[in-house]
Amino acid sequence: MVIALSKSRRILTEHLPAPLRRWFVLIWPFLALMSLFYSIFVRLRSLFFRFGFLKSNRLPVPVISIGNLTTGGTGKTPCTEFVARHLRQLGLRVTILSRGFGSVLGYLNDESRVIEENLPDVPLLQGADRTAMGQIAIDELETEVLLLDDGMQHRTLARNLEIVLIDATDPFGGGWLLPAGLLREPKSALRRAHAILITHSDLVEPTVLEQLHKSVSRIAPKAVIAHAVHEPLSWVDAILPGEPLPLTERPLGPVAILCGIGNPDGFVTTLERLGLKVTHQRRFKDHHEYTRLDIQELEAWAEKLPVGTWLATTQKDMVKLKLGGLGGRKMLALRIGLKLTTGRDRFLAVIDRHGLGGADFAKELPLAPLRPELALNAQPCDRKSPSYILRTLTVTGGI
C-alpha cells in the first residue's frame, strides 16, 4: 500500500492544479473513496456487458479497437496510423472512428488532426455515437474495416479485435483507478485483449521490461504481446506541413521545447537521443488548447531564450499552434512513428486473423514493409469530396 500510495502521489501531483498540491495529504482520502465507488461502477458495467444486460451493437464489417487502460501517454495515435497503413497496404478501404476527446463542436481534436495530416487518404469520423458513424462510413464511404480510436471503454460497439496499449514507463497509472490514479479500468480488463502492445519499451531497463511482460502475460495469457518504440521520422514545418524535413535538417544550437501531451518526458528523451541539448521547457496539460493569451506568453518566453536557441514541439501541438516560430525563433515539430521491436509478425498476424475475420486475401497478399509515407495504392482525398466532409461530421449520442 505504501508503494502504491507513493506512485499515486507522484502521478497526481503532476496533474493537480499547483495550489492544491500542498494539500495532497488531505485530498487523498476523498480521492481514494471516489476511486472505490468508480471501481464498483466499472466492474458492474463490465459484468452487465459480459452477461448481456448491456448490449453491444455489431456492424457488418470488421471493427478493430485501439485503446488503453490508463489516461493518455501510451501512443494510441501512432498505433492507429500503423494499423491503418497496414490495412491500406492490403488494399482495404479504412475509416477511423474517434470520440474526439477535447474537441470543440464541429472541429477535430488534436489527435484526429494529426491523423488527418499524416493519412489524407483515410477518412476520420468524430462523435459520441460511433455505431451511427460506423454505419455512415459503411453506407456512404463503402468502408471495409473500421478502426475504433481509443475504443477499449466504448463497449456499445462490438469489435472483432481488441488492441490494448500499455506505457512501459508507467504501465498501470500508480495502481489506482480514477481519480486516485490513472487507471480507467482494473488490470483484469486486459483479459479482453487479443493483442497487447507495450509502448516506450526503450525507455525502461531490460529487466523492468521483462518483468512487465511477464506480469501482463499472467493477466492475459491468451493475448499476443508485442513491444514498440516511438521512432522519430521527420521534422514538420507549420509553413509547409505537407513537406516533411529529414531529421538532419534542423537548426544548430540548443533547443527549447513546448508541449501539451500525456508523456512529455518521453518527448524530451527522444530529442536527446537525436543528439539535441534541451535547455528550456514549457509544459501544458494533455490536450491543451492554446489561447491567444498562451501565444502571447510563449512569445515573451521565447524572446528571452539565449541567443542561438530554437524551438521544438510535437506534431500534436503544431496542428493547434499553426506557427512556424515564436519570438523570432524557428519552431519545428517532430513527427513520430511506431516501430515494433518484438513480436511484429505475430502482431500483424492477429490483425489479419481476428480483425479481418480470417479473410483469405489477408493471408494471400504479401505484407509490404511499413513506411512513413502512404501506401502506393492509397488514393488522395479531395477536400471537397463527401469523404473529406464526413471527416468533420459530429454525430451526437450516448457513450
| CATH classification at residue 325 | 3.40.50
Average pLDDT value over all residues in the chain = 84
User: Is residue 121 pLDDT above 60, yes or no?
Assistant: yes
Report d(CA 225, CA 193) in Å as an integer: 10
Give the domain-ending residue among 297, 312, 336. 336
Same domain, 159 and 258: no
What percent of the chain lies above the pLDDT cut of 70?
82
Which backbone phi and psi does 247 adopt, to 5 degrees? -60, -25
Q: Find the mean pLDDT for residues 75-94.
A: 94
Average pLDDT of span 310-327: 93
Mean pLDDT within 155-160: 96
Q: What angle do CA 182, 98, 293 make, to 5 degrees?
A: 70
* Average pLDDT of the residues in 207-229: 97
Report DSSP state, residue 378: P
Task: Point out the least confidently predicted range of 140-144, 177-181, 223-227.
Answer: 177-181
* Block residue for cell numbers 527549447: 256
Range of the domain at 225: 63-231+338-391
Say whether pLDDT at 1 is over 60: no
**212 and 331 fall within a common domain:** no
Provide the residue count of the chain. 399
Cell readout for 19 is: 495550489
Question: How far, in Å, CA of 281 to CA of 382, rounded?
Answer: 38
Q: Is the pLDDT of residue 60 over 60?
A: yes
Pair (148, 215) in one structural domain: yes
Q: What does the pLDDT read at residue 337?
A: 93
Same-domain pairing of 260 and 296: yes
Dist CA 187 CA 42 (whole Å): 12
Q: Does 3 have pLDDT greater than 50?
A: no
Q: Does the pLDDT at position 18 exceed 70?
A: no
Concatenate the DSSP letters of all residues of 109-139 into one string.
-HHHHHHHHH-TTS-EEESS-HHHHHHHHHH
Residue ending a domain, among 336, 357, 378, is 336
Is 253 in a helix, a strand, or coil?
coil
Q: State how far the alpha carbon of 312 is from the alpha carbons of 107, 240, 278, in Å.
A: 25, 16, 9
pTM, 2 dp? 0.82
Amino acid at 182: L
Query: Which of the four pLDDT bands, split at 50, 70 and 90, describes residue 9?
Result: low
Q: What is the pLDDT of residue 15?
A: 61
Res. 354: pLDDT tops 90: no
Which pLDDT belongs to residue 2?
A: 37
Clarify whether residues 240 and 352 are in a common domain. no
Cell of 328: 523570432
Distance CA 8, CA 14 (A): 10
- Does one domain contain both 109 and 81? yes
Task: Indicate whether 112 pLDDT > 90.
Answer: no
Which residues have CB under 8 Å from 292's CB, separation 6+?
none
Q: What share of the chain is helix, strand, coil (3-state, %, to 5)?
A: 40, 20, 40
Q: Tell me: the pLDDT tens digits for 94-109?
A: 999 998 765 555 567 7
Q: Distance from CA of residue 398 to its chain's centroid? A: 22
Mean pLDDT confidence for 210-216: 97
Number of domains observed in the structure of the chain: 2
* The pLDDT of residue 194 is above 70: yes
List, for residues 286-303, the tens digit of each pLDDT value: 888 899 999 999 999 999
- What b-and-e string marks burial along 228-246, b requiring 16 or more CB atoms within 10 Å of the CB? bbbeebbbbbbeebeebee
Task: Answer with the one of 317, 336, 355 that is the final residue of a domain.
Answer: 336
- Of 110-114, 129-133, 305-309, 314-318, the one with minimum mean pLDDT is 110-114
22, part of any domain? no
371 pLDDT exceeds 90?
Answer: no
